[in-house]
Amino acid sequence: MSELAGAVVVVGSLNCDFVTRVTRRPSGGETVMGQSFDLFVGGKGNNQAIACARAGADVSIVGRVGADAFADLIVERLDAAGVRRDHLARDLEAGTGVADIQVDATGQNAIVVVPRANARVCPSDIDAAGELLDRARVVLVQLEIPIDAVLHAAVRAKRAGAYVILNPAPAPAAPLPAALYASIDLITPNESEARSLTGVDARDDEGAEAAGRALLRLGAPRSLLTLGERGTLLVEPSGARRAPAFPVDVVDTTAAGDAFCGALAAQLASGASLERAIAFGRAAGALACTRLGAEPSLPLRAEIDQLMARGGARRALS
Over residues 136-186, the pLDDT tens digits come to: 999 999 999 999 999 999 999 999 999 999 999 999 989 999 999 999 999
Span 299-305, average pLDDT: 97
- Share of residues in the chain with pLDDT > 70 (%): 96
**What number of other Cβ atoms are within 10 A of residue 285's Cβ?**
31
Q: How far apart are CA 42 and CA 306, in angstroms?
A: 25
Q: In terms of residues, how long is the chain?
A: 318
Residue 73, pLDDT score: 97
pLDDT number for residue 111: 84
Residue 1 has a pLDDT of 36
pLDDT score for 4: 45
Neighbours of 193 (CB within 10 A): 23
pLDDT band at 214 (very low <50, low <70, confident <90, very high): very high
Q: Where are the domains of the chain?
A: 8-12+44-93+118-314
* Segment 114-127 mean pLDDT: 97
pLDDT tens per residue across span 49-65: 999 999 999 999 999 99
Residue 252: predicted pLDDT: 85
C-alpha to C-alpha distance for 123 and 99, rounded to whole angstroms: 24
Report pLDDT digits (tens) over 280-296: 999 999 999 999 888 99
Tell me if residue 305 is catalytic.
no
Distance CA 24, CA 302 (A): 34
Q: Which of 83, 80, 78 is nearest to 96 (CA)?
A: 78
pTM of the model: 0.92
Whether the per-residue pLDDT at 224 is higher than 70: the answer is: yes
Please determine, for residue 260, whether its predicted confidence score (pLDDT) is greater than 50.
yes
The residue-averaged pLDDT of 239-251 equals 93
Does the pLDDT at position 134 exceed 50?
Answer: yes
pLDDT of residue 287: 97
The Cβ of residue 310 has, within 10 Å, a number of other Cβ atoms equal to 11
Question: Residue 2 above 50 pLDDT?
Answer: no
Neighbours of 291 (CB within 10 A): 16
Mean pLDDT of the chain: 94
Tell me how far apart the alpha carbons of residues 61 and 252 are, in angstroms, rounded to a whole number: 25
Average pLDDT over residues 18-42: 92
Q: How far apart are CA 78 and CA 300, in angstroms?
A: 14
Residues 134, 249, 258, 305: which is the catalytic one?
Answer: 258
Percent helix, strand, coil in the chain, to 5, is: 40, 25, 35
CATH 1.10.10.1100 fits 8-12+44-93+118-314, yes or no: no
The pLDDT value given to residue 314: 54
